[in-house]
Structure 1
Amino acid sequence: MREKIKKLPSLLLVGHGSSETDQAKKAITDHAETLRAKGHFSDVMTYFLSDGAPLPQRPEGDFFIVPFFMSDGYFSGPRIRQLFGMRHNQMQDERGLVMLCPPVGMLPQMSDLLLKVAREVCEKHSIQEAQADIVIAAHGSSKSPASRQATLLHADALRHTDRFADVREVFLEEEPFVSDWAQKRSEPSRLTIVLGLFAAEGPHSMEDVPKALKEGAVARGVDESEWIYTGPVGLQADMVRLVETSIAQYNEGR
C-alpha cells in the first residue's frame, strides 16, 4: 500500500499596506513570489490589513501566518488573532493547524540585516565603519511602546558590535524625533547612515522620513550630503530568509 504523501503547509504573509499607495504592498508581494518559487509551501498568500478585504480562502492542512511587521504591536498580534478567531497563537480545527509566527521585525536576525545594509553603504562609499554614525529611523508611537522596543533592540545590537562611531534611534511620532535629530546633529563632519526600520515603501518610509531629514538640513543651512537614507529595510531580498526564520522559530518553540 502506498504511503500517503503529507501535504505541504501553506503560508500567509500579513502586512499593513496603505490606503494611499499600492507601492506599500510591493515588498510583500515580491517576497511572496520568491517563496512560491522555492516550493516549500503548497501556497503562499498575502493579506493587507488596510484593505479591509475578506480573508483569503484558507487551504486544507497546516497554515503558517507570518506578520510582516517591524514590531510586536496590535496589528501583528491581537488584530491577526481577531481576524482568524484565535485566542492564542495556535488554533486547531477540522482543516488543520493555524500557527501565528513572530513578526519578522522582532527576530535577532533583523539586527544582522540592518548591520549588513550599513556595512554595504560603507563599502560602496569607501567609508571606514568606525568613522560612520548609524541612526535607525522608525515609526514610534505615543500610544504603544512596541515600535520603540523593537528599535531599541536593534540599536543596542548594533551598538554592541563596536563597529561604528555612534548608534542611535529616532522616530516619526515620538521623541527623539527624526527632524529634531537632523537639526541638532553633534558631529556633522561624520557621515550618518540612516536605516529605515519600515516594512515597505509607504508614506512614512518614503515621504515622512526624507521630509524630516530635509527640514533638519534646511534649519541648519546645510545640504543633505551629511547622511545617506537607505529606505525601508523590508525591501531587502534577505527578508525572505527572515520569513523562513520566523517559521523556524515558531516550530522550535512548539
Structure 2
Amino acid sequence: MPQPPRVIIVSHGQPSDPDVGEAEIIALAQATAQHLPAAEVRGATLAAKGALETALDGCDAPLIYPFFMSDGWFTKSALPKRLTGTNARQLPPFGLDPDLPAFTTHWLTSVLQTENWRPEDTSLFIAAHGSGRSPRPAEVTQTFAGHLAELRPWGDIRCGFVEQEPFLEQAATRLPSQSICLPFFALKRGHVLEDLPEALTKTNFQGRLLDPFGLHPDLPAFLAKSLARDLP
C-alpha cells in the first residue's frame, strides 16, 4: 500500500523551553490532520533538538510548511540548511498565504459584530515582529495591512514592531478605545506574552486584543485547505 504524502508543519519554537513549543506545534499538526485525511501531518520546531530530523525520518519527499509570518532568515537560511540532503519541498510560509487576508477579514468581521462596531469607525493595530537587520518582515506586515485595507474600510490601520520603528509603544500611542489589536504572530509565545502587553499597558490601550493566529479555532481547517493544494 503506498505511503500517504507527509506534511511537516515547522515553527521556530521556544529555545528557552523547547518542549512547550514542540507540544504546541504537534497539537496544531494533529488538529490540521483531522481536516486533511489524504496526508500524514506532523509538527516540529527548529528549537527542539532533533525534532525536525525525527519528523523527516522515513519519508522520501515530504512537504515542509513553515509556520512563520515572513520569508525572512529562518525560512530562507536556517530551515533550508536543516533540510540539506533531503528531498523535502519547502512551501511558502504561512504569513504569505494569499488567502490569509480574507481569513483574517472574516475573523475581524466577527469581532466587529460582537462589539457592535463599524469598521470605518474602528482602528486596527497590527502588532508584528519586524527586524533590525532586514526590511523584509516589515514589508510582509505592511503588504498584509494593505490587503486588509482593500477588503474593509477601516477608520485607521497602523503597524507597530518589536524590533524596528515604529515600535509597538509608538504605534499604539493614542489609539481610540474603539480599536482592535491583531498580533501578526503565529503562536502565543515570547513577544506576544511580554513586549506586546507591556506596550499596550504603557499606552493605556482600551480596545480589543486578539490572540495570535495559531490559537484561532478555524486555523487547522484553513491550513488543511492550503496544504491540500500542494499535495501530490
TM bucket (normalised to shorter chain) is 0.7 to 0.9
Check if 1:19 corresponds to 2:15. yes
Equivalents in 2 of 1:106, 1:77: separation in Å? 14
Match of 1:234 in 2: 214
User: Offset at 1:245?
Assistant: 4.8
Q: Which moved more, 1:14-23 or 1:239-248?
A: 239-248
Residue 53 of structure 1 pairs with residue 22 of structure 2: no
Of 178, 182, 191, the match for 1:191: 178
What is the distance in 1 between the residues matched to 2:64 and 2:226? Answer: 10
Supply the distance in 2 between the matched residues of 1:33 and 1:232 (Cα, whole angstroms).
Answer: 19
Give the greater-gyration-radius structure (CA). 1
Q: CA deviation at 1:103?
A: 0.4
For each residue in 1:5-55, what CA deviation from the matched residue of structure 2 results, as whole angstroms up to 9, or x when unmatched?
Answer: 4321011111001134555445422221123334221x3222211223351
Relative to its length, the structure with more strand (as a share) is 1
Q: Judge conservation of contact 1:179–1:213 (CA < 8 Å) in 2.
A: yes
For 2:179, the aligned partner's letter is: T
Amino acid at match of 1:44: V
Task: Give 1:150's aligned residue.
Answer: 140
Q: Which residue of 2 aligns with 1:120?
A: 110
Q: State how 1:64-213 maps to structure 2 within 5 Å.
A: 64-85=63-84, 92=87, 98-183=88-173, 185=174, 188=176, 191-213=178-200
Q: 5+ unaligned residues in a row in structure 1: which ranges?
A: 93-97, 218-223
Deviations 1:90-147 (A, max 9, x none): x64xxxxx21111011112121222122212111111122211111110011111221
- Tell me, yes or no, if the aligned pair for 2:28 and 2:43 is still in contact at 8 Å: no
**2:34 aligned residue:** 37
Q: How many angstroms does 1:168 deviate by?
A: 1.6
Q: Is the 8 A contact 2:105 2:151 kept in 1?
A: no
CA contact (8 A) 1:17 1:24 kept: yes
**Percent identity over the alignment?**
26
Mapped to 1, the partners of 2:106 and 2:155 lie a distance apart of 16
- Asked if the contact 2:22–2:44 (Cα under 8 Å) also holds between the matched residues in 1, the reply is no
Q: Could you tell me whether the CA contact under 8 Å between 1:101 and 1:247 is conserved in 2?
A: no
Contact 1:13–1:66 (8 Å) recurs in 2? yes
Q: What letter matches 1:232 in structure 2?
A: P
Number of residue equivalences:
228
**Structure 1: which amino acid aligns with 2:81?**
Q
The alpha carbon displacement at 1:153 in A equals: 1.5
2:154 counterpart SS class: coil
Amino acid at match of 2:211: G
What amino acid sits opposite 1:62 in the alignment?
A
Distance in 2 (alpha carbons) for counterparts of 1:25 and 1:60: 20
Give the C-alpha shift of residue 204 in structure 1.
0.6
**Maintained 8 Å contact 2:30/2:42:** no
What do you get for the CA RMSD once the two structures are aligned? Answer: 2.3
For structure 2, the 5+ residue unaligned runs are none
SS in 2 for 1:193: strand
Change (3 A) 1:130 1:23: farther
2:134 aligned partner, one-letter code:
S
Residues 26 and 130 of structure 1: is their aligned pair in 2 closer, same or farther, counting only changes over 3 Å?
farther
SS at match of 1:50: coil
